Amino acid sequence: MCAINITANILESDDEISRLIMKALLPEINSSLNSAFYKIKERLVLLVQTAITSSPEYTSIMSGQLKYEFGLPDSAARLLEILTFWKYINVEYNKAKINGNRLSGSISISMIKSDYSDVLSSAAAVLKTENGADLQWLSWLLLFGDKTIIKTHNVVLGPSPVSRTGGAIMKASSSGKWGVPSEFSGTANNNWITRAIDSVSQDIDSLLMKALG
């Protein structure tokens, strides 16, 4: 009997082998993720919409402090108009790609432009006062943070027959200082809407994992 010895040399490095394996698996992974994403897309949209309308800011504009601070007698109608932008939430799955020694993919949720120009151009985002002044209340809420917006007046909460809402008036004061209450204030990257989405990020992850399971 003749023994034959065979020697094989693996020329690829461990990293190269990993990349080859990932490249081979990529189409199957993307197919599975894409299928899972479309199974839960409608639930994702509902999840985000619910987060927005369940937020402290939304409740406060409807019937709480912000309604009176901003002087919005028709706050419900204004929110209804503004939220037409946000109820058509666009959720997209971005295909997984090989990134170094790992695969990475993502889900993007978009509703309005990054500079908020579309929603802020809505008539509902601006309140015209009896004196003809335009109060940019939504811009103040989403973008101004804790800045002082009015330096000559204070808001006094409480019933008043001369109030637009019946629940607050703005009084002139030498030490006047008014801005969006800090518990509701926001900036471009941290405001009512971004916080609402962040609040359900784990729920979004759970939905996707269950769809993949």
pTM assigned to the model: 0.77
Neighbours of 116 (CB within 10 A): 18
Query: Given a cut of 70, is residue 2 above it in pLDDT?
Result: no
188-199 as b/e, with b when 16 or more CB fall inside 10 Å? eeebbbebbbee
Average pLDDT over residues 114-126: 91
Query: Given a cut of 90, is residue 18 above it in pLDDT?
Result: no
Q: Which pair of tokens denotes residue 95?
A: 């295909």
Task: Decide if 198 contacts 52 (C-beta within 8 A).
Answer: no
| H-helix or E-strand spanning residue 154 | strand 153-157
Categorize the per-residue pLDDT at 3 as very low, low, confident or very high, splitting at 50, 70 and 90.
low
- pLDDT single digits (tens) 28-86: 878 877 787 788 888 888 888 899 999 999 999 999 999 999 999 999 999 999 988 77
- pLDDT single digits (tens) 139-150: 999 999 999 999
With 0-12 CB in 10 A as exposed, 13-18 as middle and 19+ as buried, what is 11?
A: exposed
